[in-house]
């Protein structure tokens, strides 16, 4: 799964158009990005990629780029 596909996955979980988020989007600036959205993202990542994010990792994400880079690294080690 590449960064564009991950942006699509995040947009799906957020129930937003993909054009409304970018790699530079600050997660804290998006009121839609709640703990429930993280649960949805975690479920989608587990289902589609077989990876899991820890609470520590999630708390460290400031931007969408942070999340994408972490997920991309995990996908690389999961294969």
> Which CATH architecture does the domain made up of 3-78 adopt?
Orthogonal Bundle (1.10)
And the tokens for 60? 């460290």
Report residue 69's pLDDT band, with 50, 70 and 90 as the boundaries: very high
Look up tokens 């899991």; give the residue.
52
The answer to whether 71 and 46 are in contact (CB under 8 A) is: no
**Looking at residue 79, what is its pLDDT?**
52
**Distance (Å, rounded) from C-alpha 61 to C-alpha 44?**
18
pLDDT-derived band at 78, boundaries 50, 70, 90: low
Domain ranges of the chain: 3-78
Tens digit of pLDDT for each residue in 9-38? Answer: 999 999 999 999 999 999 999 999 999 999
């Amino acid at each position: 799964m590449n960064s564009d596909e991950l942006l699509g996955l995040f947009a799906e979980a957020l129930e937003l158009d993909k054009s409304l988020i970018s790699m530079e989007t600050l997660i804290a600036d998006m009121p839609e990005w709640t703990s429930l959205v993280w649960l949805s993202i975690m479920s989608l990542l587990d289902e589609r990629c077989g990876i899991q994010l820890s609470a520590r990792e999630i708390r460290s994400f400031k931007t969408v780029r942070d999340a994408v880079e972490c997920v991309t690294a995990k996908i690389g080690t999961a294969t």
